[in-house]
Structure 1
């Protein structure tokens, strides 16, 4: 992705803790960069932390992905780091964006707004052609991750019922997707937050 691909964001005054989740190629990185600019805040990506874990172990991303099928240590190490970040920013009363497949679950009730992004398989494959993993790897990883989440935490990653927004990013441009989310942020009223689905912390 180049700087030209990042939507130009308007400024929004907010102190919300926002999670963004979805499969590879869903547009999460583009949205997070737009939100970071609009809210003047940082964001953390699960993918970046996964790369940090690979660097710490001196292995490639593909090698680390392969190891996740052999042991639960990699997934749990990643999830522990993400939860620590969620705990920190959830108590900070400052805007922040956390992105990962499990971000909404890991943040639990600390999150103010939980977003799920998706797009048809062919669209996501096309978007990820320049990444390290190939189409077959991406599909295998998605199936494998879903099984591990269910096995480790009894989480059904396909259950989108507790997300506040679920967006098919193939239907709108990155700019339009960002505008929808920014509008939701501006209209969010914590005093009338009756529709939130509570989520309990689970053991990592």
Structure 2
């Protein structure tokens, strides 16, 4: 048996999973663990956003400000994520889609929708070594929430359709993974009585 506390075993599943949450919630860590265990790829909306910033030689705060003044950036990212969700929703292969709106954009194509969160001070500590500062993190959260409401009439605080909602400050990284692993391994489509419906989003 491995003594590595971060080591993960294989998960035999074909589920399409979305992972969402605010900056510093632990989504990247969980997605990396799940991708390794499930032997599948994952796509992150944050990575797409950062790639755009790099391509335009802009800081994240600058691109956020530009996104505030124009719908084009957000809608382009969301359209791409929705296209990916449409592809993998019918593939019958394991896949992970991660973004603040992943659960909304994937809708009922997703087999399992996960929301991660943690207290603001914990999340701020977690992003200390990132390019984004704590102040920028808070500005981005407020900015994104306003844009989602304006563009799609989405209240990001509406979370009833998520299948799992986890406060990642209460468990270790391995512990959070094990919670999700149990959900995946115990899932049985034959006894699934149905997910909450998700309003359609049209980027």
Alignment of 1:4-153 (within 5 A): 7-153=6-152
Task: Please say if residues 114 and 163 of structure 1, whose CA atoms lie closer than 8 Å, have aligned partners that are also in contact.
Answer: yes
- Show CA shifts across 1:142-174 (max 9, x none): 111111111111111011111000000000001
Q: Which SS does the other structure have where 2:116 is aligned?
A: strand
- Show CA shifts across 1:23-66 (max 9, x none): 00000000000000110111111111112222343433222111
- Show CA shifts across 1:181-203 (max 9, x none): 01100111122222401124321
Unaligned residue ranges in structure 1 (runs of 5+) = none
Aligned length: 200
Unaligned residue ranges in structure 2 (runs of 5+) = none
* Alignment-derived partner of residue 160 in structure 1: 159
- Aligned partners of 1:100 and 1:18: how far apart in 2? 11
- Aligned partners of 1:97 and 1:136: how far apart in 2? 29
Deviates more, 1:194-203 or 1:63-72: 194-203
- Aligned partners of 2:77 and 2:12: how far apart in 1? 31
Task: Please say if residues 14 and 95 of structure 1, whose CA atoms lie closer than 8 Å, have aligned partners that are also in contact.
Answer: yes
TM-score by length of 2: 0.94
Q: Which SS does the other structure have where 1:150 is aligned?
A: helix
- Aligned partners of 1:179 and 1:82: how far apart in 2? 27
- Aligned partners of 2:51 and 2:180: how far apart in 1? 29
- Aligned partners of 1:203 and 1:83: how far apart in 2? 9
* Alignment-derived partner of residue 174 in structure 1: 173
Task: Please say if residues 7 and 30 of structure 1, whose CA atoms lie closer than 8 Å, have aligned partners that are also in contact.
Answer: no
* Cα distance change of structure 1 residues 55 and 146 upon mapping to structure 2, 3 Å threshold: same
Q: Which SS does the other structure have where 1:197 is aligned?
A: coil
